[in-house]
Structure 1
Amino acid sequence: MPYAPAAFPAGRPRRVRRTPALRGLVRENNLSVDDLIWPVFVRDGQGVEEPVPSMPGVYRRSVDKIVEAAKEAFDLGVSTICLFPYTDPAKKTLDCAEAWNPDNLSNTATRAIKAALPDMAVMTDVALDPYNITGQDGFLVDGYVVNDETVEALVKQALSQAEAGADIIGPSDMMDGRIGDMRQALEHAGHINVAILSYSAKYASAFYGPFRDAVGASGVLKGDKKTYQLDPANTDEAMRCIARDLDEGADMVMVKPGMPYLDICRRAQDEFGVPVYAYQVSGEYAMMQAAAQNGWIDGERAMMESLMCFKRAGCNGVLTYFAPAAAKIIGA
């Protein structure tokens, strides 16, 4: 039978809210540094830290500066970093060949981080948009992003990242069948321990704008991504995509964006009981930072509250640009 709480005054729920110690005793969820994955942007050059205007506090860093930042984050307890390249426009092509260049920015940064910090897990992004002259995640043919040809390219990209030393690959493209092909290719190439954290429920969202600025995709994007990213109105479809990716060999799944889709996070955890992650995307970050800078919210409290919301919704962890700042507070 459903629990019926004692009637007032025998039941006084405020009793256990009275002090920090009592609140801690009954807290249902906890946030730790182990729950945080830090997304960072890598660019060419040496000694470069270039602010991203639409994401206050976020930088595009050259590989040497990425390694320095990774060390600082690791010392704070953040043990996983996720790389996104800001590719020179001259290297963006229709065939996206830079995506599987062994010496591209992502692969170079992966090797540098693993050499300096062997115990830090490196996650990489599998998608063609940073390398595509059209800004799309796949090959655009007659106005439509084709699936199977794109998957072939994504497999080559995933293999190059595994060979560079990536611990986790993150397919964010939302093509059909890509997880199965990647898993099979990784197994055949001997990369049996490379994990796949699949962006299984990635929505066609308005919250990605600042990220596209950060990777240089905004100005080149032709059309939209609604033919492969999920409709924000749908939940059952997201569950089908998650089930498919797990069946094809994904180890973990992701919901993106984060806070507007907490219901998807909870449902994924309840229905599948697998490691579920959310991406607190650039638009979410930018809105909180802008409000905090204007004095409209307490930025630190909003940051920590938002991260706890992901845990409450059933997430095992979260990709967040707040990772180092949150780690400082958690460790204090």
Structure 2
Amino acid sequence: MSHANAALTPRHRLKVARLVVEGGWPISEVAARFQVSWPTVKRWVGRYLAGEPMLDRSSRPRISPNKTSKAVTKRCVSLRMRLREGPVQLAARLGIAPSTVHRILRTARLNRLIYIDRATGEPIRRYEHDHPGSLVHVDVKKLGNIPDGGGWRYVGRRQGGKNRSATPDRPKNKQGNPKLGYAFVHTVLDDHSRVAYTEVHDDERAITSVGVLRRAVAWFAQRGVTVERVLSDNGGAYRSYLWRDSCEALAIRPKRTRPYRPQTNGKVERFHRTMADGWAYARCYSSEQERRDALERWLHHYNQHRPHSACNKQPPFTRLINVPGQYS
């Protein structure tokens, strides 16, 4: 490709050819005027007479005898997706150089294992809706309640068992130990901005899930976001008539993932992993109520202060425009 300071750009090449062919100028005089060699002028005159374009031709060779065959390339990609092995191992199987395997994998965008779905071996297809509210993801994270005094993750199993037994006002199991139950974290996550709305409840029934959705829709509306679609898994609450009728009343189109395919709802699944690391198991809580009280503060940090790689290393709230308290 010609650079900005080239003596003969495509426009000047055409001018050179026309001066010789149509103007009758000698090739030597045209070469001296444009300060190029006469073979160069002759080459562009020949292209002009042949009706060929004046743009630079590709430097790629017409024949590449040592080029990797399509059969080897296809087998390399197939083995990568099926076995998830690296270039060295695949090169030994295929009888080619590891650098060749690496080049094939880079061309196919399979050079990193994070690009491949671990369950199926298929390339990961990423998507993102173009504006906030176009799609929200909903899901429930189940966490074991923390006994008074702290759970076994921080105080050890022996002390954790003592704290569990000493927790008052709990029903007993067959062994006489209190049933602490579970905390169900209901999350509504915006697909475009990754802004999350979360509540903790003691169950995951349809009436509870619908209540969370209604409050989440109102919460997003206060921030200028209109929810249009909602994506959920195939849990009982999301297959209920109450969920369907509530979505219809809110003018929201309900959608469900394919059975046994949680990757489709992976954004909220990944948020729950971040939430578990940053809030649920981040420190030693002396009681379940203390952990639940800390959720609002952590959620504020996640939405408005924590950099997010999917938001160009900016907080999720930066993708919402003119929101009150956005930078507080």
Q: TM class, shorter-chain normalised?
A: under 0.3
TM-score, L = length of structure 1: 0.24
Point out the structure with the larger strand share. Answer: 1
Q: Which has the higher contact order (CA 8 A, sep 6+)?
A: 1
Which one has the largest radius of gyration? 2
> TM-score, length-normalised on structure 2?
0.24
